[in-house]
């Protein structure tokens, strides 16, 4: 695709057109190939997880090359999982709004548009303008639901979001009531424990699919599993758009009795069952 620039960390989706290596001191070397074909609106596909800081710098360098191409009129970054999206407000004095600062940097690099999937702070799909940057937030919620309904032929099942913020992923399902506590006292980790999680609906004897925008450390999903067990569900599946799966979260979920973990490939993992590729193709060739 002539108007698509592909990072090597997206080689599972499309043929890469960018070379990325590291210098001995750890800094990034970037080279974009096929610049003679770069014209009009160009899309840059680049994953920014794991190693978010390094990956964001790589994105800025790729965009800087395209910005200097005479034939390029617009640059749209396709970042499947947007890092730093979990803080969109200030909780304590002295904190930055990391989500907005990340968008500002993407805009300053030369992008006119950011395309991402199930951005944590937006909590719904659609088009937005944030700090002068057009943001298109796509969703993989339907693809996850279809996986369970068709691939697993799920019967007598209910889709459950662990809080109202993720309820848009399954509009016909149920949403739990979640309340987080204050920041923990660990000086090295920014974390707010779950103070309360309740399921005010009937689920006895059913198969439950807990669907969230991400599984990071797994605490929310684990708590949701316990709550649903108390409600008498027969079996539980864990589904998320973004499978960060930090600190052995997948092992903890499986040991807790989760039958299967299902994620998309916004982040590559052993649990990626549904792909963003078709949606990207529709964007580039509408």
Confidence of residue 189 (pLDDT cuts 50, 70, 90): low
Q: What pLDDT, on the 0 to 100 scale, is given for residue 106?
A: 98
What's the pLDDT at 286? 81
Tokens of 220: 């929310």
Could you say which DSSP state residue 24 is in?
T
* Contacts of 225 by beta carbon, 8 Å cutoff, 6+ apart: 210, 236, 238, 253, 256, 257, 258
For the segment 246-275, the average pLDDT, to the nearest whole number, is: 98
Minimum mean pLDDT among 39-43, 187-191, 259-263: which range?
A: 187-191
Going by C-alpha positions, the residue among 278, 285, 241, 286 that lies closest to residue 14 is 278
pTM, two decimals, is 0.93
pLDDT digits (tens, 9 = 90+) for 204-257: 999 999 999 999 999 999 999 999 999 999 999 999 999 999 999 999 999 999
**Arch. (CATH architecture) of 4-138:** 3-Layer(aba) Sandwich (3.40)
CB 76 within 8 A of CB 109: no
**Residue that wins the pLDDT comparison between 150 and 252:** 252
Tell me how far apart the alpha carbons of residues 127 and 138 are, in angstroms, rounded to a whole number.
9
Q: Is the pLDDT of residue 194 over 80?
A: no
pLDDT in tens, 65-105: 999 999 999 999 999 999 999 999 998 999 999 999 999 99
pLDDT digits (tens, 9 = 90+) for 36-69: 989 999 999 999 999 999 999 999 999 999 999 9
pLDDT digits (tens, 9 = 90+) for 102-145: 999 999 999 999 999 999 999 999 999 998 999 999 999 999 99
CATH topology of domain 141-273: Rossmann fold (3.40.50)
Average of per-residue pLDDT across 17-44 = 97
- What stretch(es) of the chain map to CATH 3.40.50.2020? 4-138, 141-273
| 117 touches 80 (CB < 8 A) | yes
As a whole-number percent, the residues of the chain with pLDDT over 70 amount to 94
Burial of 210: CB neighbours in 10 Å, binned 0-12, 13-18, 19+: buried
User: What distance in Å separates the CA atoms of residue 85 and residue 97, rounded to the nearest whole number?
Assistant: 9
- How high is the pLDDT of residue 165? 81
């Amino acid at each position: 695709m002539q108007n698509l620039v592909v990072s090597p960390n997206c080689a599972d989706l499309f043929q890469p057109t960018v070379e990325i290596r590291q210098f001995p001191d750890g800094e990034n070397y970037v080279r974009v190939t096929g610049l003679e074909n770069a014209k009009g609106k160009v899309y840059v596909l680049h994953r920014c997880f794991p190693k978010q800081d390094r990956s964001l710098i790589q994105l800025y360098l790729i965009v800087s090359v395209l910005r200097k191409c005479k034939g390029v009129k617009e640059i749209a970054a396709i970042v499947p999982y947007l890092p730093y999206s979990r803080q969109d407000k200030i909780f304590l004095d002295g904190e930055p709004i990391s989500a907005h600062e990340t968008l500002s940097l993407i805009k300053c690099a030369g992008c006119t548009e950011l395309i991402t999937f199930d951005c944590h702070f937006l909590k719904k799909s659609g088009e937005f303008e944030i700090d002068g940057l057009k943001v298109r937030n796509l969703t993989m919620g339907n693809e996850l639901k279809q996986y369970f309904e068709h691939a697993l032929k799920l019967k007598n099942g209910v889709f459950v979001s662990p809080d109202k913020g993720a309820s848009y992923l399954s509009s016909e399902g149920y949403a739990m009531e979640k309340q987080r506590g204050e920041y923990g006292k660990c000086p090295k980790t920014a974390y707010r424990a779950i103070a309360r999680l309740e399921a005010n609906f009937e689920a006895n004897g059913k198969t439950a699919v807990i669907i969230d925008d991400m599984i990071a450390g797994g605490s929310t999903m684990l708590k949701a599993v316990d709550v649903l067990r108390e409600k008498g569900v027969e079996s539980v599946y864990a589904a998320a758009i973004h499978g960060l799966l930090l600190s052995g979260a997948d092992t903890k979920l499986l040991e807790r009795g989760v039958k299967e973990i299902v994620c998309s490939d916004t982040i590559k993992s052993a649990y990626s069952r549904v792909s963003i590729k078709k949606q990207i193709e529709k964007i580039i060739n509408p």
